[in-house]
């Protein structure tokens, strides 16, 4: 046990009482007890859920470094998407006892297999439409307003299929002047904004009747609520999912 305590940075703590340990130290003790058994597979079930945010960030970094050092296969159960993406080599997303997708964190985030995965992992904007053209260069989707947007790279979707076009907030560009090229441009009005220092998060009510969420780096002034804006969606960042698998 002394060796396990040393591994988690608590050498010399073996005679301390629980009340003499901080929250982070208590979590390390629990981990040391598990490591003392030298398991082939280490199971962690939401080990950081009772810690404050700052300590969670510190502990998950320490856990990842420890796991890498010991080269021990670890199954980590969590409802925290940040933990899942930052700590894992592969992530399994489950919904009602059924596996929705197994993938590396980048694949899971950038190319979700279903609307559930897209909505569960991070924030996603959903645009309902119908495929009107499908070529090697991409899919063209007609939205409810009649506007046609393009999604690249091409996915195997039949012409006429009802689909959901998915785009992450940070992949959206918000402009205060109308662009010269109208491709993948949606006109709207800022209805809400949140200032986070490095980034500003906007809610933009577009002519489709939906509200798009955008996250923009704070290089310039904050756009005021009520301002008319034009939203550009990069075709490379649009993901098409069949409507029957969407929310």
pTM recorded for the entire structure: 0.80
CATH number of the domain encompassing residue 177: 2.40.50.140
Q: Does the residue 125 lie in any domain? A: no
- Of residues 49 and 167, more confidence is placed in 167
Q: Does the residue 197 lie in any domain? A: yes
- The tokens describing 116, both together, are 């559930």
What tens digit of pLDDT does each residue of 201-239 get?
999 999 778 999 999 988 767 899 999 999 999 999 999
- Averaged pLDDT score across all residues of the chain: 87
Q: Does the residue 205 lie in any domain? A: yes
Last residue of a domain, which of 89, 113, 145? 89
Instruction: Tell which residue, 179, 175, 170, 139, has the closest CA to residue 156.
Output: 139
Q: What is the pLDDT of residue 246?
A: 44
Q: What is the pLDDT of residue 2?
A: 64
Question: What is the distance between the alpha carbons of residues 203 and 188, in angstroms, rounded to a whole number?
Answer: 10
Last residue of a domain, which of 61, 89, 117? 89
Least confident of 17-21, 56-60, 79-83, 185-189: 17-21
Question: What is the distance between the alpha carbons of residues 84 and 58, in angstroms, rounded to a whole number?
Answer: 15
Percent of all residues in the chain with a pLDDT value above 70, rounded to a whole number: 94
Which residues does 23 contact at the CB level (< 8 Å), separation at least 6?
Answer: 50, 51, 52, 55
- Of residues 69 and 109, more confidence is placed in 109
Question: What is the distance between the alpha carbons of residues 128 and 233, in angstroms, rounded to a whole number?
Answer: 15
The whole-angstrom distance between residue 154's C-alpha and the CA centroid of its chain comes to 23
Query: Could you tell me the CA-to-CA distances from 76 to 79, 171, 226 in Å, in that order?
Result: 10, 29, 44
Q: Which domain holds residue 40?
A: 2-89
Percent of all residues in the chain with a pLDDT value above 90, rounded to a whole number: 48
Does the pLDDT at position 159 exceed 80? yes
Q: What is the pLDDT of residue 109?
A: 94
Q: What is the pLDDT of residue 145?
A: 84
CATH number of the domain encompassing residue 68: 3.40.50.300
Number of structural domains (the chain) is 2
What tens digit of pLDDT does each residue of 18-54 get?
787 877 788 778 777 877 777 888 888 888 877 788 8
Does the pLDDT at position 245 exceed 60? no
Q: Does the residue 146 lie in any domain? A: no
Stretch 181-203: mean pLDDT, rounded? 93
Q: What is the pLDDT of residue 7?
A: 63
Q: How confident is the model at residue 135 (pLDDT cuts 50, 70, 90)?
A: confident
| Token pair 């076009």 in the structure block, residue | 165
Least confident of 24-33, 76-85, 88-97, 128-137: 24-33
Q: Does the residue 134 lie in any domain? A: no
Q: What is the pLDDT of residue 137?
A: 82
Q: Does the residue 46 lie in any domain? A: yes
Q: Does the residue 75 lie in any domain? A: yes
Q: Does the residue 112 lie in any domain? A: no
């Amino acid at each position: 046990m002394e060796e396990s305590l040393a591994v988690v940075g608590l050498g010399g703590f073996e005679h301390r009482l629980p009340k003499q340990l901080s929250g982070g130290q208590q979590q390390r003790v629990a981990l040391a007890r598990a490591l003392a058994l030298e398991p082939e597979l280490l199971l962690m079930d939401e080990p950081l859920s009772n810690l404050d945010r700052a300590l969670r960030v510190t502990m998950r970094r320490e856990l990842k470094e420890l796991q890498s050092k010991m080269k021990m296969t670890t199954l980590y159960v969590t409802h925290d998407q940040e933990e899942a993406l930052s700590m894992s080599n592969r992530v399994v997303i489950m919904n009602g006892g059924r596996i929705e997708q197994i993938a590396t964190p980048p694949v899971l985030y950038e190319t979700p297999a279903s609307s559930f995965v897209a909505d569960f992992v991070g924030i996603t904007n959903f645009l309902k439409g119908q495929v009107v053209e499908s070529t090697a260069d991409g899919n063209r989707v007609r939205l409810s307003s009649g506007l046609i947007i393009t999604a690249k790279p091409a996915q195997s979707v039949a012409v006429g299929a009802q689909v959901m076009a998915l785009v992450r907030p940070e992949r959206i560009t918000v402009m205060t002047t109308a662009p010269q090229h109208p491709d993948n441009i949606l006109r709207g009005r800022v209805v809400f904004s949140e200032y986070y220092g490095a980034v500003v998060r906007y809610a933009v009510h577009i002519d489709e009747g939906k509200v798009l969420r955008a996250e923009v780096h704070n290089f310039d002034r904050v756009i005021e609520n009520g301002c008319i804006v034009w939203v550009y969606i990069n075709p490379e960042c649009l993901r098409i999912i069949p409507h029957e698998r969407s929310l």
